[in-house]
Chains A and B, each alone.
Chain A
Amino acid sequence: MDRKPTVWEEVAALLEGVSALPEDYEALQELARSLPPDTGSMLKGFVSPKFMKMSLAGLKIFAIAFNELVKKRAEGKKVVFRAFNFPPELLHAMDVAPMCTEAAGIVPMMAIGGDRFFDAAIEAGLPETLCSGHRPTVGMILDGRELQPDVIVNAGPGSCDANAKIHEYMAKTWGIPLLNLDAPYYHDERGLAYYQREFRRMVSRLEEIIGQKMDYDKLREVVENANRATELMLEIQEMKKAVPFPLPNLYGVMVQLMKYVWAGREETVTFFQIAHDTAKELVEKGEGAFPNQRVRSLWVYSGIYYDMEVWNWLEDVGVIFLQDHFGYFPEKLIDTSTIDTMLDGLGERCFNMPMTRQMKGAWDAPYGWAEDMIFLARELKADCAIFSGHLACRQAWGSYRLLKDKLKSELGIPSFRFEADILDRRITPISALKDKIEEFVSTIA
């Protein structure tokens, strides 16, 4: 190959090697030491020493997703970008290369570094205050390192201006079709019906654009896989109520990877099965996933992802990451009996994806952010809430104060807020963040 490999190709090659590792933490550490610092750190961060099987099953998803993307692209298949809050099941049932816009930038950033990609988007005129969830993807493509998509499914309208706007920018900049999916303000029957009609309209338009009718047998297969994963995930969610906590902190991160990148695929079912069996065994034995569990923390917005090693560090200092809002999927099984039930079921799933479910309406609306976080804090017996104040999130910052007061008045639990960019390590040093978390924990533990 004469040309320089794309970022995706680099990442696919790198992750393929990692996912073939034996379940041996020492070997993995050895490998991490031999890799460039960012890559090694990501590798260590995505592995929980006592839960190698689960960790490698999760890491494997990265490798498969990026490899498949590269392979399908080489075969001339259409690349379809869609935001994290659009369920990938639908696209896995089509002969396309689907990619989560955020993952397309964030994963390479984690794997091979490259702060410059954040800046490349700014150099192109985008505001520096725009969400870093999207800037690296745009930066990589503008930087000429990446293959651009052929069509974009935009599930941002209504739930996040920045998300919606960046997808509009990408489509316009690259002259490709943009399919908007508008989330209504209300989470009720009328809102759902509106959204399901939007969803169906999007499916029709997508079929037209890629010149391919949906293969409904394939869709049924994918949705059945998704249902199996959902059943396992919901059972795991129940087991999270256990004291001591039966899952490594990393689970709360990996569940997002499964849902956002690879929902509907067999490998995701495998991951959830491993996580399920692991948690079940620990619950039955009355054991926790790690010792000295001091504080059960609910991260009401997001985790932080610019230093993946923080999740294992939190375990070291006795902090349980119950989950964050981005890892909450209160979904139903989808009826696969007809095309209509599958499409409406996926539409409803999309309606309940993080951000879309909680942020499209008022802060205190039914199924809104406050209601869901109060529910989770109560259900999971949280001792405290942690708000990773992602600088770009107008929605969360705009209702955090109200949520914090509600958590205190209704459940009596304290909240800790910090200011950071959840992806850009140049904003808040991880050392400073760790100090703050330890100080907070010491006051409540």
Chain B
Amino acid sequence: MKVSEELSQLAETLSNPFVESWKKEGGKIVGYTCTYMPEEIIYAAGILPLRLRGTGCVGTAIADAYLSRIAHCSFARSVLELALTGEYDFLDGVVFTNGCDHTRRAYDNWRAQEKTPSFMHMIPVPHVLTEDGLQWYREEVTAFKEHLEESFGVEVTDESLTKAISVYNETRSLLKQLYELRTRKSPPITGAETLKIVVAGVSMPRDRYNQMLKQLLDEISGREGISDYRARMMIVGSVNDDPALVELIEDTGGLVVADSQCFGARLFWDLDEETGDPLNNITARYYHHIPCPRMYGEYPTRFDFVKDAARKADVDGVILQTIKYCDLHGVDNAMLEKDLEEEGIFALRLEREYGPLADMGRIRTRVQAFIERLEGERNG
């Protein structure tokens, strides 16, 4: 099996052979949400960090007794459903951030159950970028590290953190190389495949992932490149770990060549500083990375990132997707649509549901119409 196929498979399930092997060897696994959760800490503790997803969730009947179908996003409900139905029982711990009102209430409801992972932790992240906020976050990251050490009987040293930084920076650099290839006129990889590769990275041991990522870059460098697309697309918005959405866009004639998503560029774009106090470096990197819409007053940075990425990848249009009830991306996308169009970058706002709950027929029609608009604009 090619390495691209091996990695791509990992996006399809919650667990996978790497996870099973890790557990079999006595390794611990801590699940987490959000790009404001510093993975390096878990890695440095010798524990496998695994990003929580709603993959495989086909309904949210139990979660809906705690969160609400009429108020909460289907991602948060799907994750909670999988937790409450035992699908995440292989985890030894869980850590959330107060990333948004939906996910932090998912955490509350998970934590309130009788049966929970023995380690549960919340990392409160400030919603503004200030010196004071950075200090607060530093204290919270330190508290998380200490809780992890105490609960799992491990020690997270400066040396282990320094190694973690090196490993994670390598991932980020490799993924940036992958993203660079996507900006070519004939990219060697689709958007859907790229998303699967990104998801794989947060679903398996990181050292092994880096090895495979290097092999992947070698593998795809020999590909012919994709040129039979009707429009180059960028995808922006709510949490999206579901390749099906991107596949749908690409089946319709688009080729997704860039993104600004938390299972995407926003996850890995910024590097840790490698000199100086490692915990400070990690904290600073996570606090200041390409901001999620939860960071108030930081819209200009988000817009610049989207605009620059769109231009660099020479996209024809940007799809601004929002999971229903997601206030953060819903409002940001309204602003982005206006500003991108003013910059001459065409944009489509699209409301959707998460994963298998999605209304694919409607989305396909909207994407088709958008592509036709882009073709019309291109052809004058």
Which A residues lie at the B interface, using CB under 8 A?
Answer: 124-127, 129-131, 154, 156-158, 160-162, 164-166, 168-169, 172-173, 178, 180, 182-186, 194, 197-198, 201, 361-364, 389, 391-395, 397-402, 419
Contacts and interface: CB of A to CB of B under 8 A. Distances in A.
Contact of B296 (A126, A164, A397): A164
A168 B296 contact: yes
Given A402-B66, A419-B70, A362 B327 contact: no
B293 interface: yes
A363 to B, nearest CB: 4
A168 B132 CA distance: 21
Contacts of A401: 65-66, 109
21 contacts: A124-B334, A127-B325, A127-B330, A157-B127, A165-B328, A166-B331, A182-B128, A183-B127, A184-B124, A184-B136, A361-B124, A362-B122, A363-B108, A389-B71, A394-B101, A394-B327, A395-B101, A397-B68, A398-B102, A399-B105, A402-B66
A182 B294 CA distance: 11
B91 interface: no
Interface residues of B, number: 48
Given A125-B334, A169-B335, A198 B132 contact: yes
B136 A127 contact: no
A405 to B, nearest CB: 9
B174 interface: no
A184 B330 CA distance: 23
Contacts of A178: 296-297
B331 A126 contact: yes
B128 A168 contact: no
Interface of B: 65-68, 70-72, 98, 100-102, 104-106, 108-109, 111-112, 122, 124, 126-128, 130, 132-133, 136, 293-294, 296-297, 299, 322, 324-328, 330-335, 337-338, 349, 351
A361 B333 CA distance: 27
B105 A394 contact: yes
A124 B327 CA distance: 15
Contacts of B325: 127, 129, 394
Contacts of B328: 161, 165
Contacts of A400: 68
Contacts of A402: 66, 108-109, 112
Given A164-B127, A184-B136, A398 B331 contact: no
Nearest to B105: A398
A184 B328 CA distance: 18
Given A183-B127, A397-B71, 8 more contacts: A130-B330, A161-B328, A180-B296, A182-B130, A198-B128, A395-B105, A397-B105, A398-B72
Contacts of A391: 70-71
A168 B329 CA distance: 12
